């Protein structure tokens, strides 16, 4: 199959969505498919939002995947849009063409409008757009109306956030050939809002990459020794629950001052990152001495980081899945997540982790203390998470599901010339 994948950013840009797209694309290439990724020439999402060019190669091949990058807010489109909006009735005419939501995306977000002509002349068997809260997915949707093609979406709806409730996304769901949801929660959300066909694909990990780990080395590097460790891995932002975690630790430290907190991940300079910094600065000097912040680390160090933890905590309110839970489980660590959205479908409360009230630092502190107080239950939860990850969430299984979906959609289009209708998957016993 000739496959086009559309993503706001792509490797070497770091992030959960970027990793997801990379593994799907490379996995399909390894199965003999021709895969091209259309993306932005930006080094991170912040640069993309501000229209900053990252200096990455315009066209290159990464592990067999052809990557074509475009400058965000291309000069030609930007100049055309500004000129048109200055004309009498310009705003009204564009609003008729693109819709109210579409105009907002065209004026408030960075654009990769160059994707549209590429999609029109590429004649791919399948076009998939990921991460729908960025405008490249909308450009793909517009291209589909100009030339019909098999359109698959992986929206990554963060259902706790308001952006996914916009009418434009209902239109995109209805026009899609299929939607790949990360969880059953996201599947239900997509169906309720107009998707005709939904497959639960999930995300994955490579178990072999976590087989070699040395948590003792991490503990030694940061002078932690044998103290109990609560760990976080992810962007240091409010939506990831870092502020809530910091507040909860103040309660935990009153229970046991020996506990250490490790926060590992990129430190944002935006508003959310500054709020995290402010929360940390409000800690006393004694409390700050129990906190280790790691803003930069190699991917090779990640398994050892998780191995150094006694508990992994990610009380995020904005996860479409939460890859970090799988990574922690590969290291046989229990997890704590927020009782909200898709996380409730990922973490089995009381089995492989615990769920907490996303608005309550007190509840989070109580659950942390509960887990630190019972080593046997921690180990049982960690093993339960490990078994679940191996059974259902390796990248090989995820790519298998996506490849099967692509083949089915192409076969249906070849035979009928129309978008495939929902079918019954015998392995799941339900319509997808």
Question: In the structure, what pLDDT confidence band is assigned to residue 341 with cuts at 50, 70 and 90?
Answer: confident
Asked if residue 427 has pLDDT above 80, the reply is: no
What does the mean pLDDT of the chain come to?
86
Going by C-beta distance under 8 Å and a sequence separation of 6 or more, which residues neighbour residue 162? none
pLDDT recorded at residue 108: 63
- Three-state DSSP at 134 gives coil
Secondary structure element (H or E) that encloses residue 431, with its range: strand 430-431
pLDDT recorded at residue 165: 74
pLDDT recorded at residue 267: 78
235-267 pLDDT tens trace: 888 889 999 999 999 999 999 999 999 999 887
- Rounded to an integer, what distance in angstroms lies between the CA atom of residue 350 and that of residue 212? 28
Least Cα distance to 10 among 77, 87, 69, 58 occurs for 69
What is the assigned CATH class of domain 209-391?
A: alpha beta
CA 91 vs CA 83, 113, 136: distances in Å: 10, 18, 21
Average pLDDT of 321-335?
Answer: 95
Asked if residue 135 has pLDDT above 70, the reply is: yes
Structure tokens at 157: 């709806």
Query: What is the reported pTM?
Result: 0.77
Counting Cα atoms < 13 Å in the Cβ hemisphere of 223 gives 5
Question: Of 44 and 359, which is predicted with more confidence?
Answer: 359
- Beta-strand pair 229-233/151-154: unpaired
- Output the CATH code of domain 2-73+110-204+396-431: 3.40.50.2000
Question: In the structure, what pLDDT confidence band is assigned to residue 29 with cuts at 50, 70 and 90?
Answer: very high
Question: Of 116 and 379, which is predicted with more confidence?
Answer: 379
User: Residues of CATH 3.40.50.2000 domain(s) within the chain?
Assistant: 2-73+110-204+396-431, 209-391
265-282 pLDDT tens trace: 887 767 777 888 899 999
Question: Of 263 and 43, which is predicted with more confidence?
Answer: 263
pLDDT recorded at residue 429: 35
pLDDT recorded at residue 432: 28
Least confident of 359-363, 388-392, 417-421: 417-421
Rounded to 5 degrees, what angle do the CA atoms 60, 407, 29 make?
25
Question: Of 110 and 6, which is predicted with more confidence?
Answer: 6
Rounded to 5 degrees, what angle do the CA atoms 378, 382, 384 make?
120
pLDDT recorded at residue 422: 37
Counting Cα atoms < 13 Å in the Cβ hemisphere of 313 gives 31
Question: In the structure, what pLDDT confidence band is assigned to residue 428 with cuts at 50, 70 and 90?
Answer: very low
Average pLDDT of 87-96?
Answer: 66
- Rounded to an integer, what distance in angstroms lies between the CA atom of residue 109 and that of residue 168? 15
């Amino acid at each position: 199959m000739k496959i086009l994948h559309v993503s706001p950013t792509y490797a070497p840009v770091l992030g959960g969505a970027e990793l997801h797209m990379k593994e799907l694309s490379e996995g399909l290439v390894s199965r003999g498919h021709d895969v091209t990724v259309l993306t932005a020439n930006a080094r991170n999402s912040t640069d993309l939002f501000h229209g900053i060019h990252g200096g990455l190669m315009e066209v290159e091949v990464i592990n067999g995947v052809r990557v074509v990058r475009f400058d965000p807010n291309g000069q030609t489109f930007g100049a055309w849009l500004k000129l048109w909006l200055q004309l009498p009735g310009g705003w009204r005419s564009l609003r008729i063409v693109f819709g109210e939501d579409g105009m907002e995306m065209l004026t408030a977000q960075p654009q990769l409008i160059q994707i549209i002509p590429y999609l029109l002349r590429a004649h791919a068997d399948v076009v998939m757009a990921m991460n729908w809260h960025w405008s490249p997915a909308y450009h793909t949707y517009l291209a589909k109306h100009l030339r019909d093609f098999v359109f698959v979406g992986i929206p990554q709806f963060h259902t706790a956030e308001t952006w996914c409730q916009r009418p434009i996304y209902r239109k995109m769901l209805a026009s899609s050939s299929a939607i790949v949801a990360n969880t059953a929660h996201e599947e239900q959300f997509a169906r309720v809002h107009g998707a005709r066909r939904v497959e639960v694909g999930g995300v994955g990990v490579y178990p072999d990459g976590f087989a070699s780990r040395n948590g003792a080395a991490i503990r030694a590097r940061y002078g932690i020794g044998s103290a109990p460790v609560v760990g976080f891995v992810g962007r240091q932002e409010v939506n990831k629950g870092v502020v809530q975690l910091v507040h909860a630790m103040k309660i935990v430290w009153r229970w046991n001052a020996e506990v250490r907190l490790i926060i590992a991940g990129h430190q944002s300079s935006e508003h959310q990152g500054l709020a995290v910094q402010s929360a940390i600065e409000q800690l006393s000097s004694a409390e700050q001495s129990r906190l280790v912040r790691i803003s930069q680390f190699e991917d090779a160090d990640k398994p050892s980081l998780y191995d150094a933890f006694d508990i992994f905590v990610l009380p995020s309110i904005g996860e479409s899945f939460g890859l970090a839970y799988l990574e922690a489980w590969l290291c046989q660590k229990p997890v704590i997540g927020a009782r909200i959205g898709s996380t409730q479908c990922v973490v089995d409360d009381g089995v492989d982790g615990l769920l907490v009230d996303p608005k309550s630092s007190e509840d989070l502190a109580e659950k942390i203390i509960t887990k630190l107080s019972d080593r046997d239950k921690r180990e049982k939860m960690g093993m339960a998470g490990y078994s679940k990850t191996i059974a259902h969430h390796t990248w090989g299984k995820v790519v298998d599901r996506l490849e099967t979906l692509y083949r089915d959609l192409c076969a249906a289009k070849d035979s009928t010339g129309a978008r495939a209708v929902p079918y019954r998957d015998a392995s799941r016993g339900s319509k997808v």
